[in-house]
Structures are given as C-alpha cells and as structure tokens.
C-alpha cells in the first residue's frame, strides 16, 4: 500500500532563518505531488504541485520554493522565513490519472518567532 | 474554473443526531467530488468520492453523500453523530491535476 511521510512534525524557527521540509511517498511510482499551507482562518492554500521530477508549478508567489529531486521526494524550502510563513504545511500525492483523490501526510506545524 | 461552497463554517449537533454538512459546487464539466475529514493537527483523510455512476456514495465511518446534479450539491450525511466525528470537513471538486477545496466546516458534537 502507499504511504506518505512528512517531517518534522513540528518546527520552531526564528524570522530570517532558512527552511527545508521534506515529503516522501512509498508504494507508488510517478505520483503527482503537492504542498499546501493552512493558516489560521484561511483554509487550504495550494502552494506548489509537481507532475514529474524537476517539474514544479507555483500557485502563489512568495518567498517559498519547492523542488522534486527524485520521483517520490518533494521538498519545500525558504532562504529567509517571514512571520507570515507560520502555519500547518501539508504534503499530498495523487495518481497521474486525472480527477483522482489526493492523499495527505500528517503535516508539519511551523511556528516563526 | 471549478469552485466549492460549504454552507456553514460551524455546525453543532447532539450525539446521536443526524449530521448534515452542505456542499455546493460549480463545474463546467461533469464533476469529480470528494469529502475529506481533518482531525486537529493531522492531515486530511479521504471520506468518500464521487466519480460517475451511483449518485449515493458511501464512505468510511458511516458517512455518505448524495450527488444531485440539478442542485449542484454533494451534501455529506451521517444518521447518528458520535463524539469521535468532531473534526473539520472539507468538500472538494477535481480540476484536472488539482483539487479545489471549500473553506471547511467544523463539526461540533455535544454530549
């Protein structure tokens, strides 16, 4: 069966520090991969998605970036965190077949001080 | 572009009462629809999905949803609420490789 792993579960970072969140998927090949953010009172915001290695689509311009160095690995990064980057970050995967459900990881709670 | 509207950001029911969470969608093509549940500090878990075929879809944890094309609705129901159903629920419609989510409805279950 397929599983998705995100780490760390919680992270506290100072303003201006870098960020790296990692997500890996097991048990499937060639998945679509997604990064979302949930900020208080703002619902689910799609940040990036990827349909293949090195292929990244950005949904919201900001100081975050994403990379997909391997087929089942998706990384969310920032060079300098802002207070507004606080939130709950979720990674998800789906089949390449269109209109399929997405399957989510357990999330990372990021607090910026 | 597809869109989803969830009526009621908060719904409160008594334990054992009917749960009804409303979802209306807008789609220019036959929709693929989903309901997810999110417990505090956890990811989203798929409850059920509608693709084609039977309009009444059964999901996990006793939930079901009915697709009504004429009303562009996909409401989520459960006959008898349990305390463990307290969570946030999201309706979503597929848009190619992406999902368009509603704003979510927080379900509170009173004892």
Give pLDDT tens digits for A13-48.
Answer: 999 999 999 999 999 999 999 999 998 777 899 999
pLDDT at A98 over 90: no
State the pLDDT at residue A61: 67
- Residue B2: CA count within 13 A, CB half-sphere: 23
Task: Give A60-85 as a DSSP string.
Answer: S-SSEEEEEEETTEEEEEESS--GGG
Give pLDDT tens digits for B21-78.
Answer: 999 999 888 899 999 999 999 999 999 999 988 899 999 999 999 999 999 999 999 9
Cross-chain Cβ contact A44/B101 below 8 Å: yes
Of A98, A100, A107, the CB nearest to B43: A107
pLDDT at B87 over 70: yes
Q: B96 pLDDT band (50/70/90 cuts)?
A: confident
Cross-chain Cβ contact A101/B43 below 8 Å: no
Q: Considering only CB atoms, which chain A residues are within 8 Å of B44?
A: 44, 90, 92, 102, 104
Q: Considering only CB atoms, which chain A residues are within 8 Å of B36?
A: 104
Cross-chain Cβ contact B43/A106 below 8 Å: yes
Beta strands in chain A (DSSP E): 3-7, 10-13, 19-26, 32-38, 44-52, 55-58, 64-70, 73-78, 87-94, 103-104, 108-112
CA distance A60 to chain B (A): 14
Cis bond upstream, residue B55 (ω within 30)? no
In the structure encoding, which two tokens stand for residue B16, read together?
A: 């054992």
Q: Considering only CB atoms, which chain A residues are within 8 Å of B49?
A: 101
Give pLDDT tens digits for A65-81.
Answer: 999 999 999 999 999 99
Q: A53 pLDDT band (50/70/90 cuts)?
A: very high
pLDDT at A60 over 90: no
Cross-chain Cβ contact A109/B41 below 8 Å: yes
Of A51, A88, A106, the CB nearest to B97: A51
Q: How far is residue B9 from each of residues A70, B20, B35, B47, measured CA to CA in Å?
A: 39, 13, 15, 19
- What's the whole-number average pLDDT of chain A? 94
Average pLDDT of the residues in A7-12: 95
Cross-chain Cβ contact B97/A103 below 8 Å: no
* Residue reference for tokens 């920032």: A78
Cross-chain Cβ contact A43/B103 below 8 Å: yes
DSSP strand pairing (B10-14 vs B105-110): parallel
């Amino acid at each position: 069966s397929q599983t998705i792993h995100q780490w760390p579960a919680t992270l506290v970072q100072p303003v201006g520090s870098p960020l790296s969140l990692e997500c890996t998927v097991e048990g499937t090949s060639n998945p679509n991969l997604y990064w979302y953010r949930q900020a208080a009172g703002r619902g689910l915001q799609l940040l990036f998605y990827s349909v293949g290695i090195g292929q990244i689509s950005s949904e919201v311009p900001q100081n975050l970036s994403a990379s997909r160095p391997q087929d089942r690995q998706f990384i969310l990064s920032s060079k300098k965190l802002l207070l507004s980057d606080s939130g709950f970050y979720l990674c998800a995967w789906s089949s390449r077949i269109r209109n399929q459900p997405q399957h989510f990881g357990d999330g990372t709670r990021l607090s910026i001080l | 572009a597809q869109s989803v509207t969830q009526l009621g950001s908060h719904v409160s029911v008594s334990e054992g009462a009917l749960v009804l969470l409303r979802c209306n969608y807008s789609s220019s093509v036959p929709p693929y629809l989903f309901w997810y549940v999110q417990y505090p500090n956890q990811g989203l878990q798929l409850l059920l999905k509608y693709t084609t075929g039977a309009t009444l879809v059964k999901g996990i944890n006793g939930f079901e949803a009915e697709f009504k094309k004429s009303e562009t609705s996909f409401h989520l129901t459960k006959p008898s609420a349990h305390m463990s159903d307290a969570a946030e629920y999201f309706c979503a419609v597929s848009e190619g490789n992406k999902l368009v989510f509603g704003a979510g409805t927080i379900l509170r279950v009173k004892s």
